[in-house]
Structure 1
Amino acid sequence: MAHEHTLTDDQRWQIALAKDRRYDGAFVTGVHSTGIYCRPSCPARAPLRKNVRFYATPADAEAAGLRACKRCSPNTQSGEEACVLAAIAAIRADGAQTLDQLADLTGYSPTHFQRLFKRTVGLSPAAFARALREERVRGALGNGASVTDALYEAGYASASRFYDNTKDKLGMRASDWSRGGEGVRIHWTVIATSLGDMLVAATDKGVCCLSFGEGEVELQARFPKANLVEAGDEFKTLFEQVTAAVEQPALDNSHIPLDVHGTAFQQRCWQALRTIPAGETRSYGEQAAMLGNPKASRAVGSANGANNVAVLIPCHRVVQADGSIGGYAYGPQIKAELLKREGAAQEELF
């Protein structure tokens, strides 16, 4: 899925031919020979390409003199979309909703509803509820609430339940989060690489920062309340693995432990980045498609920009929709070189 503005007309045409319902809502297909406009997933026979124009919204198509297709109803929510939205509203109001309760609410069987919800949202109902609770905890902590109050306000029955659900995602404990990482020890060093000086830093759990052209000052800015110490021999093997991953980014680096934290959406974006194979690229719209949200490409770009761990979380594999290199925190030259080393085909690097 992609935001409408990230797609070319040729891409929209291929989506319409594939009747890919993931792009419903991203744009509509106007057929000027018949005077109607449709969802990308409309099951009607494909029109001739010369008769087709694409519009961002139903209102734009109607302003051009087209009327809505009665078969796919592009100007209304589908029954499935309405059911998912109703379920989301119920989860937001009462995070304790069970799958059976949500299925009863929507009129689907639990199994069918589970598939429908995950296809639409990108998460199961239970995972969505967990992510929502985690977001609420972070929001409350950011506003100065105590850890205990934040947990119970977010709907956790106990502190241990929260830690069980988030220990592999947050890295830092909730109390550390509320203090901006205060008391967390981060070991760091700067290593000379063929791409320039590389800052690498890690907690006892894994790598928390990898950047280029930065040092202790920038690391302190990223983690203002952490205790920074220059790395000793105990981090030698880990940092050698990180250096090898930078020099040969096409190699599998999934064995290198990470200690990263972010919002639930950022976590999903970063995980999606790690599933892009070396030697391949995705547009921001295509990354949004991986998350199940056709209008999230701008949010995806922001989440990628918040990534503190270059290369190991490969945001360099996301390029512009036209194949051009796009932006990168450490400059287009480093991004282009990483892609070159991975064997990615780039029509236009700058």
Structure 2
Amino acid sequence: MTAELYTLDASSKDYHRIAGALAFLGDNWRDHPDLDRAARAAGLSPHHFQRVFTRWVGVSPKKFVGALAHDTAREALEDGACMLDAAFEAGLSGPGRLHDLFIAHEAVTPGDAKRRGAGLQFTWGVAPSPFGDAVMLVAPRGLSAMAFADPDVESGFADLEARYPAAEYTRDDTVARQWAERIFTPTGPEKLPLALYGTPWQRQVWRALLTIQPGETTSYKSIAEHVKSPKASRAVGAAVGANPISWLIPCHRVLASNGKLTGYHWGVERKRAMLAYETARG
């Protein structure tokens, strides 16, 4: 197995333990938990936890807790921010970038969506990712959807299939794996074609999401202003929620107006992990 493939598999395997550790540290940083306590929260030995956490997050557990304890974090908490949001304010967020993401998104007629996928042919499959197993739909013109296999592969696929119930599906995990290797490379994804099946309004919002850089966050209100509909925050929220391609179209970077981590289809725990993954590498 090559180093790249090992990294992809290992990051997927480590995800659930690290997500739990991030939540534990976010809730308990004021107590300055030592390595042993944090390791127990992840179900690992201290030595193994130190290595896995640093590899996945990009900084050591001690540095992560140190950022949480920063004075800026204290100020953010006094203003009502949640623990992890305070961590980002304390220095894990900022102008740094994980990668420059260039995506060629092809305009697809909304009639395809209105026909509930009739006439569309998708290859679907499952591949490891840093956030657990990813389920992908690939159309002839590009990647059409990427979700996560929660609580299992069948549920993850059913969630995507419900978007296009009249389409035809062929499973090929090798194809999904090839896409995962292109998306989750250490240097960031290459230019990727996306076949976005949605209404013109949805595609407009999804394109706005692509302007949010890694390590940055925004609000639904700001997205509404970006698409020249400042009073349409709820409609923007619906379009963000309908985003078919998790991670690449970064709806995880959209926070509530009060800065809280809310409203992610694949779970706030995963949203927290995605933001930590990006900002620690900024």
- Shorter-chain TM-score above 0.5: yes
Output the CA distance in 2 between the equivalents of 1:292 and 1:254: 30
* CA drift at 1:184: 1.3
Q: What is the SS of the residue equivalent to 2:196?
A: coil
Kindly provide the amino acid, as one letter, of the partner of residue 170 in structure 1: V
Kindly provide the amino acid, as one letter, of the partner of residue 284 in structure 1: Y
**Is the 1:190–1:215 contact (alpha carbons within 8 Å) kept by the matching residues of 2?**
no
* CA drift at 1:171: 5.9
Aligned to 1:258: 194
Output the CA distance in 2 between the equivalents of 1:273 and 1:261: 16
Kindly provide the amino acid, as one letter, of the partner of residue 169 in structure 1: A
The one-character-per-residue Cα deviations of 1:295-336 (angstroms, maximum 9, x if unpaired) are 111111010011111011110000012221111001001001
Aligned to 2:108: 170
* CA drift at 1:193: 3.0
**Is the 1:198–1:211 contact (alpha carbons within 8 Å) kept by the matching residues of 2?**
yes
Displaced runs of 4+ in structure 1, greater than 4 A?
A: 232-236
Output the CA distance in 2 between the equivalents of 1:266 and 1:218: 18
Which of 1 and 2 has higher RCO (CA within 8 Å, sep 6+)? 2
1:301 aligns with 2:237: yes
Output the CA distance in 2 between the equivalents of 1:219 and 1:253: 22
Which of the numbers 227, 251, 256 marks the counterpart of 1:291?
A: 227
Aligned to 1:219: 160
C-alpha RMSD over aligned residues: 2.5
Count of matched residue pairs? 172
Question: Mapping of 1:82-97 within 5 angstroms?
Answer: none
* CA drift at 1:237: 3.0
**Is the 2:116–2:163 contact (alpha carbons within 8 Å) kept by the matching residues of 1?**
no
Q: Which runs of 5+ in 1 are unaligned?
A: 1-166, 345-350
* CA drift at 1:254: 6.3
The one-character-per-residue Cα deviations of 1:185-220 (angstroms, maximum 9, x if unpaired) are 101111233422211111111111111124333332
Q: What is the SS of the residue equivalent to 2:106?
A: helix
Output the CA distance in 2 between the equivalents of 1:278 and 1:236: 23
Q: What is the SS of the residue equivalent to 1:259?
A: strand
**What's the TM-score, normalizing by structure 1?**
0.45
**Is the 1:189–1:200 contact (alpha carbons within 8 Å) kept by the matching residues of 2?**
yes
Kindly provide the amino acid, as one letter, of the partner of residue 265 in structure 1: W
Output the CA distance in 1 between the equivalents of 2:265 and 2:177: 26
Aligned to 2:170: 229
Question: Mapping of 1:235-274 within 5 angstroms?
Answer: 236-242=177-183, 244=184, 252-253=188-189, 255-274=191-210
**Is the 1:272–1:287 contact (alpha carbons within 8 Å) kept by the matching residues of 2?**
yes
Q: What is the SS of the residue equivalent to 1:168?
A: strand
Q: What is the SS of the residue equivalent to 2:127?
A: strand
**What's the TM-score, normalizing by structure 2?**
0.55
Question: Mapping of 1:1-350 within 5 angstroms?
Answer: 168-170=106-108, 174=111, 176-212=112-148, 213=150, 214-231=155-172, 233=174, 236-242=177-183, 244=184, 252-253=188-189, 255-343=191-279
Output the CA distance in 2 between the equivalents of 1:234 and 1:317: 28
Output the CA distance in 2 between the equivalents of 1:225 and 1:310: 22
Output the CA distance in 1 between the equivalents of 2:144 and 2:125: 12
* Greater C-alpha radius of gyration: 1
Q: What is the SS of the residue equivalent to 1:182?
A: coil
Output the CA distance in 1 between the equivalents of 2:113 and 2:200: 14
Output the CA distance in 2 between the equivalents of 1:265 and 1:283: 18
